[in-house]
């Protein structure tokens, strides 16, 4: 059931209904007319509309129907934030809005999986098209989408300006009046993403192409093309910019309108056309231009009553634009083809006939192009995946229209509104009755006017006005509009809703002319002038004009004018019957969907903001059937809510239901209303809802709730305040006491410290005990963080006098500890090596007590053993030949060779015999180089060494090697061999401090003082 669906959100959760309509009632009228106490009073209804309109509250509900009053000004209620506010929110929770209706329809479609439709009605200029655009925009913005669907959404939105350019026009009532009916399906997939769209168009007001009433214009596109098209385009189309030059544009005498920017709208349309799949090859604009040229095609009368075209050049251009043969067109415009007894005859048209043939062609070309345009848009919106889709239909169709002179078009439009009203009554009543049935509540008959009688008058087969019109069009012999009127008088003259001048009594006769018939519509009386009825219903285009158009090389026109149409001798359906049939189909479509309604009201005829013309509004309230709607909706009960929602809201009012009711919901509601003293006639309990008859009952309950909340809040506030004060003062006192205590302790501490400092050299006594303890404590804490880390580190913090002895104790202890730790870390292998190398270096073989001999040793040790003959050993630093990295080595001299040893490993052996020279610098740097033969592959090059006893080493080596003459002293630099053929250089520079480092150009730079 619809109302159930309305109150349950997507997850099926019952929302807490905030009843904004109730709480806001005292401020600006009622948000829902069902809460009007005097729901039968039209004055109360209008007053409520007026009060809200004055506050820019343009939307009000009648149950689930949205009534909208055109504000004629931009209101800031359509932003994205507003859309978010209404998203997923229940109808009654928030102020009435077109977005609330859009959202509820969307959610109903998703949760109930049933197609929906939104019927927007109202008179011209009441805001129907704006409402439909807002609904579309709401879906485009809030529905889930993806890239592909975004393109579709864009097309849906872009199709609007195009349709408006071709199908809307300025009328006296609306500067942007839709001159066609539009029903648009938006298709959604199972995720709720819009996936496609389809438009059905109804009865374009084609007569506007050739004629406009005073103060009105032709369709927007003509003016847009002339104003916005660039010069080249106009030249190509052979057009001039001034609309005054075109007869079809000046009938209404207002080609320019200040509120319309044709130039800007042209740009919008040109931008939208490619989005919805239009190509330039289709030459749509040629057709628009050709209509203007047709309008300027003039005829002259020949002597024999025949006609000829006086605007020859115009016609040539026209033929070019239409893509047809010029002479064939000329002939078709001035002659007609007849078939008599199987023979074809051509007869000339008289002046009037030629003019009407021309106009018929213009209307046909424009009307068919419009239909093609809608088809084209439909192709671009076509649903790509059709599985499991749901639909929301939007009906934006012309509202009830009463002009000074009402013709065939108004007759069709008002007939359409009769049908919609019937559907509305039927569906609203049906849904109400269903609701009562579901809830098990007896239906109380509602008095309302059933307009079926008027629909029958118009559409009944054989007896209805449309049938009579068709008959008159088809009847052989002399027929004319007046004969049609007479036929009407004969056939439906006795109908209570039909009057003519002849049938009327004296008073009415004065307001119905002889050429008119009056229909008493549900919304009011309308006089229709029969002039033109037959022609318009016939909608005839001469056969030879059709033949010419079939041969057009314009893609659109050849699509619109089919050859079959010429060959087929069967007469096509008359315009009114076509319209009737399309309306029947529309009703079927709408009946198959769940409807929602937007009823638009126009507040004044001057299109002015802030003006509320009561007479005009009352008229619309009447013909929109809003009072009837309200009566049906109220049908005995003003208010209904599901038990959960009702109990949730009002449970604080009854001790048994507060805070929670654990029994059956219906019992809870029953207990609650009994406690509130509801009388039996004031309410009824259905199966899942409570129905309350009078708004007064509900308002009293609501007031009681507000009072309760007010009291509750007040009591809570008082108690809360007291508690807060007690806690605050207690807390502040405690904090102050703590602060004072801390201050006292700090002062005492400082006092003791100062006293201690004064007595620091005294024996340990109460005066200095705190200070000395503190100093000791500080020393130990500092010592703990600064203990030496290695045995070689001799640093130790200075102890205070009272701790000198203890400090020394600790130092020794710590040292011993470190030594023990170090020894524990020494591995047995390492111990052996240390022992061995110390022997190598320091033990003379002659004095070797342990008798290390070559015989006892094997392998590498045997090789090492040869070192036992070492005569002299010294620590040196060896510099790598390339990177000059310093490496600690032992240089050992034996009788025949020298070796460089790294711990126990011999790194280099230098035979004295091979030694080519010994170089030293002239400064006190300690550097010396042992030059080796380059051809000796075993040698790695010269040895670059440093020793603090360089003189001693060099002397010893030179003597032992017997090469004293090989010693060179080089003052500036020493060259040495790095490897075969490669050289290194040591540069010596005088400086205050010894420094050995890699210098420029890869040299080893030695900075040192002079030797002496
Ligand atoms: N909700 C609205 N807010 C602002 N202006 C509006 C609104 N509805 C209608 N209008 C104004 O009224 C004019 C006529 O509205 P429109 O929707 O074209 O009427 P209808 O389609 O019923 O003939 C619009 O051009 C616009 O200026
Ligand atoms: Mg409109």
Q: How many CA atoms lie within 13 A of 621 on its CB side?
A: 24
The residue nearest atom 6 of ligand 1, judged by CA position, is 72
Which pLDDT value is given to residue 758?
83
What does each C-alpha distance from 524 to 3, 68, 513, 619 come to in angstroms? 32, 21, 18, 8
Say how far apart CA 199 and CA 185 lie, in whole Å.
6
Atom of ligand 1 nearest to the CA of 130: 17
Ligand nearest the Cα of residue 122 is: 1
Residue (of 68, 76, 134, 75) closest to 602 by Cα position: 68
Ligand nearest the Cα of residue 66 is: 1
Please check the confidence at residue 8 and state whether its pLDDT lies above 60.
no
Let me know if 660 is a catalytic residue.
no
Please check the confidence at residue 9 and state whether its pLDDT lies above 50.
no
Ligand nearest the Cα of residue 125 is: 1
What percent of the chain is modeled with pLDDT above 70? 89
Atom of ligand 1 nearest to the CA of 58: 1
Residue (of 286, 292, 287) closest to 251 by Cα position: 292
Report the relative pairing of strands 683-685 and 872-879 from DSSP bridges: unpaired
Q: Per residue in 406-449, pLDDT tens?
A: 999 999 999 998 998 888 878 877 777 788 888 888 877 777 77
Say how far apart CA 897 and CA 932 lie, in whole Å.
12
Atom of ligand 1 nearest to the CA of 68: 1
Atom of ligand 1 nearest to the CA of 133: 17
Q: Is 71 in the pocket of ligand 1 (CB under 6 A)?
A: yes
Say how far apart CA 352 and CA 823 lie, in whole Å.
132
Phi and psi, residue 617, nearest 5° = -65, -45
| Element containing residue 228 per DSSP (H, E) | helix 220-228
When pLDDT is cut at 50, 70 and 90, the band that residue 215 belongs to is very high
Q: What mean pLDDT do residues 303-329 have?
A: 90
Let me know if 124 is a catalytic residue.
yes
Which pLDDT value is given to residue 518?
96
Q: What mean pLDDT do residues 61-65 have?
A: 87
Residue 587 near residue 578 (C-beta atoms within 8 A) = no
Q: How many CA atoms lie within 13 A of 373 on its CB side?
A: 27
Among 90, 145, 174, 317, the active-site one is 174
Q: DSSP class of residue 1003?
A: P
The residue nearest atom 16 of ligand 1, judged by CA position, is 127
Say how far apart CA 221 and CA 223 lie, in whole Å.
6
What does each C-alpha distance from 750 to 745, 755, 757, 768 come to in angstroms? 9, 9, 11, 13
Which pLDDT value is given to residue 936?
66
Which pLDDT value is given to residue 669?
93
194 or 854, higher pLDDT: 194
Among 177, 500, 697, 864, the active-site one is 177
Ligand nearest the Cα of residue 56 is: 1
Please check the confidence at residue 55 and state whether its pLDDT lies above 80.
yes
Residue 140 near residue 149 (C-beta atoms within 8 A) = no
What does each C-alpha distance from 188 to 77, 82, 116, 131, 379 come to in angstroms? 26, 23, 11, 20, 17
Annotated binding-site positions for ATP: 122-129
Annotated binding-site positions: 122-129
Q: Is 600 in the pocket of ligand 1 (CB under 6 A)?
A: yes
Which pLDDT value is given to residue 713?
52
Instruction: Locate all alpha helices (DSSP H) within 403-542, ordered by sequence.
Output: 408-439, 452-459, 465-474, 481-492, 506-509, 533-538
826 or 252, higher pLDDT: 252
What does each C-alpha distance from 974 to 877, 944, 953, 1002 come to in angstroms? 17, 10, 18, 14
Ligand nearest the Cα of residue 133 is: 1
Please check the confidence at residue 868 and state whether its pLDDT lies above 80.
no
Ligand nearest the Cα of residue 598 is: 1
State in Å: Cα 446 to ligand 2 middle. Answer: 33
Q: What mean pLDDT do residues 721-743 have?
A: 72
Which pLDDT value is given to residue 147?
73
State in Å: Cα 176 to ligand 2 middle. Answer: 7
State in Å: Cα 283 to ligand 1 middle. Answer: 32
Q: What is the 3-state secondary structure (H, E, C) of 259-308?
A: CCCHHHHHHHHHHHHHHCCCCHHHCHHHHHHHHHHHHCCCEEECCCCCEE
Q: Strand, helix or coil at 559?
A: helix
When pLDDT is cut at 50, 70 and 90, the band that residue 17 belongs to is very low
Q: Is 126 in the pocket of ligand 1 (CB under 6 A)?
A: yes
Which pLDDT value is given to residue 998?
83
DSSP symbols for 779-820 = HHHHHHHS--SSTT----PPPPGGGHHHHHHHHHHHHHHHHH
Which pLDDT value is given to residue 200?
94
Please check the confidence at residue 538 and state whether its pLDDT lies above 80.
yes
| Residue 56: other Cβ atoms inside 10 A | 15
Q: What mean pLDDT do residues 626-632 have?
A: 83
Which pLDDT value is given to residue 634?
77
Q: Is 122 in the pocket of ligand 1 (CB under 6 A)?
A: yes
Let me know if 919 is a catalytic residue.
no
Which pLDDT value is given to residue 68?
97
CA dihedral 581, 586, 587, 588 (to 10 degrees): 90
Q: How many CA atoms lie within 13 A of 662 on its CB side?
A: 0
DSSP symbols for 843-860 = --TTT-TT---GGG--HH
Which pLDDT value is given to residue 268?
95
Which pLDDT value is given to residue 725?
60
How high is the mean pLDDT of the chain? 84
State in Å: Cα 398 to ligand 2 middle. Answer: 7
Which pLDDT value is given to residue 832?
63
Say how far apart CA 627 and CA 617 lie, in whole Å.
13
Most informative mutation of 127, 168, 400, 600 for ligand 1 (most atoms within 8 A of CB): 127
Please check the confidence at residue 13 and state whether its pLDDT lies above 80.
no
Sorted by sequence, the CB contacts under 8 Å of residue 591 that are 6+ apart come out as 423, 427
Q: Is 128 in the pocket of ligand 1 (CB under 6 A)?
A: yes
Q: Is 174 in the pocket of ligand 1 (CB under 6 A)?
A: yes
Q: Of 3-17, 297-311, 579-593, 931-945, which gets the smallest average pLDDT?
A: 3-17
Give the tokens for residue 497: 């809703």
Phi and psi, residue 11, nearest 5° = -80, 0
Let me know if 79 is a catalytic residue.
no
State in Å: Cα 980 to ligand 1 middle. Answer: 100
Say how far apart CA 725 and CA 261 lie, in whole Å.
67
352 or 442, higher pLDDT: 352
Q: Is 130 in the pocket of ligand 1 (CB under 6 A)?
A: yes
Phi and psi, residue 523, nearest 5° = -95, -10
Q: What mean pLDDT do residues 978-987 have?
A: 80
Among 129, 315, 542, 919, the active-site one is 129
Which pLDDT value is given to residue 14?
28
Q: Is 178 in the pocket of ligand 1 (CB under 6 A)?
A: yes
Say how far apart CA 7 and CA 13 lie, in whole Å.
9
Residue 612 near residue 603 (C-beta atoms within 8 A) = yes
Please check the confidence at residue 61 and state whether its pLDDT lies above 60.
yes
The residue nearest atom 5 of ligand 1, judged by CA position, is 72
Let me know if 401 is a catalytic residue.
yes
State in Å: Cα 981 to ligand 2 middle. Answer: 101
Q: Per residue in 503-531, pLDDT tens?
A: 988 888 889 999 999 999 988 899 999 99
When pLDDT is cut at 50, 70 and 90, the band that residue 924 belongs to is confident
Which pLDDT value is given to residue 721?
56
914 or 478, higher pLDDT: 914
Q: How many CA atoms lie within 13 A of 922 on its CB side?
A: 7
Which pLDDT value is given to residue 863?
46
State in Å: Cα 121 to ligand 2 middle. Answer: 10
State in Å: Cα 632 to ligand 1 middle. Answer: 29
The residue nearest atom 26 of ligand 1, judged by CA position, is 72
Q: Per residue in 630-682, pLDDT tens?
A: 887 777 677 788 898 888 888 888 988 888 888 899 999 999 999 999 988 88
Per-residue burial over 205-244, b if 16 or more Cβ lie within 10 Å, else e, is bbbbbbebeeebbbbbbbbbbbbbbeeeeeeebbbeeebe
> Greatest CA span in the chain, whole angstroms?
165
Let me know if 445 is a catalytic residue.
no
When pLDDT is cut at 50, 70 and 90, the band that residue 4 belongs to is very low
State in Å: Cα 259 to ligand 1 middle. Answer: 13
Q: What mean pLDDT do residues 345-364 have?
A: 91
Most informative mutation of 57, 128, 130, 623 for ligand 1 (most atoms within 8 A of CB): 130
Which pLDDT value is given to residue 78?
95
Atom of ligand 1 nearest to the CA of 173: 23
The terminus-to-terminus CA distance of the chain in angstroms comes to 118
| Element containing residue 702 per DSSP (H, E) | helix 695-758
Residue 181 near residue 585 (C-beta atoms within 8 A) = no
493 or 389, higher pLDDT: 493
Q: DSSP class of residue 760?
A: T
Q: Of 103-107, 221-225, 842-846, which gets the smallest average pLDDT?
A: 842-846
Which pLDDT value is given to residue 845?
37
Say how far apart CA 779 and CA 250 lie, in whole Å.
110
Sorted by sequence, the CB contacts under 8 Å of residue 990 that are 6+ apart come out as 923, 1007, 1008, 1009, 1010
Say how far apart CA 564 and CA 115 lie, in whole Å.
37
Let me know if 934 is a catalytic residue.
no
Give the tokens for residue 267: 């740009």
Q: Is 308 in the pocket of ligand 1 (CB under 6 A)?
A: no
| Residue 1006: other Cβ atoms inside 10 A | 24
State in Å: Cα 68 to ligand 1 middle. Answer: 11
Q: Is 127 in the pocket of ligand 1 (CB under 6 A)?
A: yes
Q: What mean pLDDT do residues 756-768 have?
A: 83
Please check the confidence at residue 847 and state whether its pLDDT lies above 60.
no
Let me know if 729 is a catalytic residue.
no
Q: Is 74 in the pocket of ligand 1 (CB under 6 A)?
A: yes
Among 229, 399, 668, 941, the active-site one is 399
What percent of the chain is modeled with pLDDT above 90? 38
Please check the confidence at residue 324 and state whether its pLDDT lies above 90.
yes
Greatest mean pLDDT range, 266-270, 727-731, 895-899, 926-930: 266-270
Burial (CB count within 10 angstroms: exposed 0-12, middle 13-18, buried 19+), residue 720? exposed
pTM of the model: 0.65
Q: What mean pLDDT do residues 31-49 have?
A: 90
Which pLDDT value is given to residue 92?
66
The residue nearest atom 11 of ligand 1, judged by CA position, is 72
Q: Per residue in 599-617, pLDDT tens?
A: 999 999 899 999 999 999 9
Q: What mean pLDDT do residues 377-385 have?
A: 84
Among 29, 63, 125, 197, the active-site one is 125
24 or 636, higher pLDDT: 636
DSSP symbols for 875-941 = EEEEEPTTT--EEEEEEEE-SSEEEEEETTEEEEEEEGGG--EEEEESBSS-EEEEE--TT-TTS-S
Q: Is 124 in the pocket of ligand 1 (CB under 6 A)?
A: yes
């Amino acid at each position: 059931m619809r109302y159930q669906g309305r109150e349950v959100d997507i997850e099926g959760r019952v929302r807490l209904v905030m009843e904004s309509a109730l709480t806001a009632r005292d401020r600006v009228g009622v948000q829902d007319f069902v809460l009007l106490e005097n729901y039968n009073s039209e004055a109360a209804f209008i007053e409520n509309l007026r009060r809200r309109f004055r506050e820019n509250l343009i939307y009000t509900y009648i149950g689930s129907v949205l009534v909208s009053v055109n504000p004629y000004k931009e209101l800031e209620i359509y932003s994205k934030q507003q859309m978010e506010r209404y998203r997923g929110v229940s109808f009654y929770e928030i102020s009435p809005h077109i977005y609330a209706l859009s959202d509820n329809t969307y959610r109903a479609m998703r949760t109930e999986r049933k197609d929906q439709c939104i019927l927007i009605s109202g008179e011209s200029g009441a805001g129907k098209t704006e409402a439909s655009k807002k609904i579309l925009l709401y879906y485009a913005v809030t529905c889930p989408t993806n890239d592909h669907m975004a393109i579709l959404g864009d097309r849906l939105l872009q199709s609007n300006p195009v349709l408006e350019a071709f199908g809307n026009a300025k009328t006296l009532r609306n500067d942007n009046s839709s001159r066609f009916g539009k029903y648009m399906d938006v298709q959604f997939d199972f995720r709720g993403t819009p996936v496609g769209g389809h438009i059905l168009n109804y009865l374009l007001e084609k007569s506007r192409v050739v004629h406009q009433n005073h103060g009105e214009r032709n369709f927007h596109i003509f003016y847009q093309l002339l104003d916005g098209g660039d010069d080249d385009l106009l030249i190509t189309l052979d057009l001039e910019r001034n609309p005054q030059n075109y007869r079809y544009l000046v009938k209404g005498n207002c080609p320019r309108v200040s509120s319309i920017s044709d130039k800007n709208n042209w740009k919008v349309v040109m931008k939208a056309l490619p989005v919805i799949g239009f190509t330039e090859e289709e030459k749509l604009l040629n057709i628009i231009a050709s209509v203007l040229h047709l309008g300027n095609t003039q005829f002259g009368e020949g002597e024999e009553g025949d006609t000829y075209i006086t605007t020859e050049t115009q016609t040539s251009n026209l033929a070019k634009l239409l893509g047809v043969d010029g002479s064939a067109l000329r002939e078709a415009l001035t002659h007609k083809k007849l078939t008599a007894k199987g023979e074809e005859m051509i007869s000339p048209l008289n002046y009037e006939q030629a003019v009407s043939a021309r106009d018929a062609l213009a209307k046909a070309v424009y009307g068919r192009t419009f239909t093609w345009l809608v088809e084209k848009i439909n192709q671009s919106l076509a649903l790509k995946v059709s599985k499991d889709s749901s639909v929301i239909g939007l009906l934006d169709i012309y509202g009830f229209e009463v002009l000074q002179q009402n013709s065939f078009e108004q007759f069709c439009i008002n007939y359409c509104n009769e049908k919609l009203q019937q559907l509305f009554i039927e569906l609203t009543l049906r849904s109400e009755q269903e609701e009562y049935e579901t809830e098990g509540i007896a239906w109380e008959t509602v008095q309302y006017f059933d307009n079926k009688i008027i629909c029958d008058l118009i559409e009944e087969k054989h007896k209805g006005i449309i049938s009579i019109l068709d008959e008159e069009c088809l009847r052989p012999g002399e027929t004319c509009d007046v004969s049609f009127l007479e036929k009407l008088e004969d056939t439906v003259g006795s109908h209570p809703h039909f009057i003519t001048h002849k049938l009327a009594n004296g008073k009415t006769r004065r307001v119905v002319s002889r050429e008119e018939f009056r229909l008493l519509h549900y919304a009011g009386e309308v006089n229709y002038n029969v002039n033109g009825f037959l022609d318009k219903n016939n909608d005839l285009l001469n056969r030879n004009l059709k033949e010419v158009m079939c041969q057009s090389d314009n893609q659109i026109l050849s699509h619109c004018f089919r050859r079959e149409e010429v060959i087929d001798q069967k007469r096509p359906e008359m315009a009114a019957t076509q319209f009737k049939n399309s309306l029947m189909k529309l009703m079927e479509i709408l009946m198959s969907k769940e409807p929602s309604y937007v009823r638009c009201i126009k507040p004044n005829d001057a299109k002015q903001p802030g003006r509320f013309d009561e007479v005009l509004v009352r008229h619309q309230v009447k013909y929109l059937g809003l009072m009837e709607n309200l009566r049906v909706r109220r049908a005995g009960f003003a208010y209904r809510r599901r038990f959960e929602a009702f109990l949730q809201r009002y449970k604080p009012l009854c001790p048994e239901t507060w805070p929670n009711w654990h029994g059956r919901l219906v019992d809870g509601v029953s207990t609650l209303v009994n406690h509130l003293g509801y009388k039996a006639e004031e309410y009824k309990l259905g199966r899942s809802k409570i129905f309350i008859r009078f708004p007064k009952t509900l308002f009293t309950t609501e007031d009681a709730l507000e009072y309760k909340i007010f009291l509750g809040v007040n009591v809570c506030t008082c108690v809360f305040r007291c508690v807060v004060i007690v806690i605050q003062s207690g807390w502040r006192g405690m904090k102050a006491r703590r602060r004072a205590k801390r201050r006292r302790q700090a002062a005492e501490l400082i006092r003791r410290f100062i006293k201690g400092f004064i007595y620091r050299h005294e024996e340990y006594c109460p005066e200095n005990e705190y200070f000395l303890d503190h100093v000791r404590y500080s020393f130990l804490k500092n010592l703990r963080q600064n203990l030496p880390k290695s045995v070689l580190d001799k640093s130790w913090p200075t102890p205070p006098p009272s701790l000198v002895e203890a400090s020394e104790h600790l130092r020794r202890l710590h040292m011993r500890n470190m030594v023990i730790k170090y020894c524990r870390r020494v591995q047995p292998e390492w111990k052996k090596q240390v022992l061995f190398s110390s022997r190598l270096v320091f033990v003379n073989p002659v004095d070797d007590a342990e008798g290390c001999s070559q015989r006892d040793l094997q392998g590498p040790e045997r090789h090492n053993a040869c070192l036992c003959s070492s005569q002299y050993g010294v620590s040196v630093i060896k510099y790598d030949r390339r990177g000059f990295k310093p490496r600690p080595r032992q240089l050992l001299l034996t009788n025949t060779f020298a070796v460089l040893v790294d711990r126990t490993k011999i790194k280099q052996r230098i035979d004295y015999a091979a030694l080519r020279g010994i170089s030293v610098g002239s400064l006190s740097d300690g550097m010396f180089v042992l030059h080796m033969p380059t051809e000796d592959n075993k040698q790695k090059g010269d040895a670059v060494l440093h020793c603090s006893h360089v003189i001693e080493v060099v002397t010893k080596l030179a003597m032992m090697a017997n090469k004293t003459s090989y010693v060179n002293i080089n003052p500036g630099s020493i060259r040495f061999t790095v490897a075969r053929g490669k050289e290194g250089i040591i540069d010596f520079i005088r400086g205050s401090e010894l420094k050995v480092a890699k210098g420029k150009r890869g040299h080893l730079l030695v900075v040192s003082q002079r030797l002496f």
